[in-house]
Amino acid sequence: MTNLNEFVDRAKASEYFSGARVGEDLARFLDERGEACRRLGRELREARQLYFVGCGGSLATLQTARYLLDGKLDVPVDAVHGYDLIWRRPKRLDREAVAFFASYSGETEDTVAALRFARERGARTVGIVRGGDSAIAREADEVIEYGSAAIFEAPIAAMVLVGAGLSEGQAGSGAMELLANGLREVPAAVEAAVEEEEGRAEARARELLSSRHLYVIGAGPLAPLAYKVALTVVMENIRIGGTWIDASEFRHGPAEALERSQVDALVLFGTDESREMGERALAFLQEHGARTLVLDASSYPSVHPLLTPLVLNSITQWFTVWSAILRGIVDLDERVFMGRSVLATGGHAWP
C-alpha cells in the first residue's frame, strides 16, 4: 500500500491531475485575467458569428463553453474540430466572425491549421493557451493565457467571462452575468470535491478494475465532459476501451448492447433539467445487470447548474488516477504514441 500511496502522491504533482490544484489555479485566473476576458468580450460586440475550435480534450472544453453561452448570447456560437472547420468552409467564417482556438500547448496540428485558415478568411482570431511561445500565441490576433494545467476549467471560465462582456447591454445580459458571478463559487467547491473524493477514489476504481471497456454517460452541460472522459481519459490514461454516450441518446441504440454483453458504465449526474435523462439511463443499466459508478453534482448545491462540469472533472480525475495506478500505469503524463510524432505531421507534437 505504501508504494501505491507514493504513486498517488506523484500523480498529484503531474500535469494530468490538474484537479489537485485547480481550485487555486482557477481562483488565480479569475483574479488576474477575469477583467481582461470581460474587456475582450466588450470589444467583440459587433461579431456576427463565434466559432470555438479545438481538438481532443480542448474540443470538449469548448463544447461545454458553447453549451453555456449558446442560449444567452444574441450572436450564434458553433464548436468544431480543427480540421472540420477547414473541410466545412462555413460561409459565416468571414470578417464579421470571431474564432477562438484552444490548445494547451499552442502547437496542436489540427488547431494551428484551423487558425491559419480562419485568418485567410479574414476572421478575428483568439488563442486560448497555457502560455509561452507557440504557433497559436504568435499568430492569433488576441491571446488568453491561463498559466496553469487547468486545461478544462480555465478556458471555460475565460469564455464565460468573454460572454459576459459581449452580452452587456443585450437582452441576455442578466443570465450571462449570473453565470459569470457563479464562477466565484467554483474554486471552493472543487477543493471540497477533491478532498472528499480522495478518501473513496480507490474503492470506486476497484469496483470497475476488471473493466476492459467503459461507457461514459452524461447529458446537457455534462455531455461534453462525458465525451472528454471517454475519449481522452479512459482510453488515453487508463488505456481500455471507452464509449461516449449522451444520456438522451442511450435509448436510441446503445441500450440494445445489454441484451448480449456485460456493460460497465460511468454516469455523470448534473443538477439541471437534463438530470432526468441520466436517471433513466442509470435505472435501465442497473435493471439489466450493468456495473455502474455515479458521479453526482448534487453534492455541491452552491454551484450553478451549468457550471457543474468544472467540479465533476476533478472527481473523474481521481477515478482515473487510481484506475491507472491499479493497472500498473504509474506515470499519468507518459504516453505510448502521443507526443512521439507518430500521429502528427509538419513537426507538430502532442498535444
The pLDDT tens digits of the residues spanning 73-112 come to 999 999 999 999 999 999 999 999 999 999 999 999 999 9
224 in a domain, yes or no? yes
Query: What amino acid is encoded at 235 in this protein?
Result: M
Residues 93 and 150 in one domain: yes
CA within 13 Å, CB half, 262: 6
Residue 143: strand, helix, or coil? strand
Residues 304 and 320 in one domain: yes
Q: Which domain holds residue 219?
A: 2-14+187-326
Which helix (DSSP H) or strand (DSSP E) does residue 218 occupy?
strand 213-218
DSSP 8-class letter at 237: I
Report residue 343's pLDDT band, with 50, 70 and 90 as the boundaries.
Answer: low
Residues 163 and 243 in one domain: no
* CA end-to-end distance (rounded Å), the chain: 33
How far is Cα of residue 123 from the mean position of the Cα atoms in its chain?
Answer: 25
Provide the b/e sequence for 288-307 (b: ≥16 CB within 10 Å): eebbbbebbbebbeebbbbb
What CATH number did the domain enclosing 206 receive? 3.40.50.10490
Residues 242 and 265 in one domain: yes
Confidence check: pLDDT of 38 > 50 = yes
Confidence check: pLDDT of 14 > 90 = no
Q: Residues 197, 20: contact at Cβ < 8 Å?
A: no
Residues 95 and 195 in one domain: no
Report residue 251's pLDDT band, with 50, 70 and 90 as the boundaries.
Answer: very high
Q: Which of 160, 184, 208 is the last residue of a domain?
A: 184
Confidence check: pLDDT of 119 > 60 = yes
350 in a domain, yes or no? no
Mean pLDDT value across residues 263-275: 97
Residues 54 and 98 in one domain: yes
336 in a domain, yes or no? no
Domain total in the chain? 2
Q: Which of 153, 184, 215 is the last residue of a domain?
A: 184
Confidence check: pLDDT of 314 > 90 = yes
Residues 276 and 308 in one domain: yes
Residues 125 and 191 in one domain: no
* Distance, CA of 36 to CA of 39 (rounded, Å): 5
81 in a domain, yes or no? yes
DSSP 8-class letter at 249: G
> Cell triple for residue 145?
493565457
Residues 221 and 290 in one domain: yes
342 in a domain, yes or no? no
The pLDDT tens digits of the residues spanning 133-179 come to 999 999 999 999 999 999 999 999 999 999 999 999 887 689 999 99
Q: Residues 282, 250: contact at Cβ < 8 Å?
A: no
347 in a domain, yes or no? no
Residues 64 and 111 in one domain: yes
pLDDT for position 311 = 97
Q: Residues 248, 219: contact at Cβ < 8 Å?
A: yes
β-strand partners of 293:
266
Residues 54 and 171 in one domain: yes
Residues 145 and 225 in one domain: no
Mean pLDDT value across residues 263-287: 97
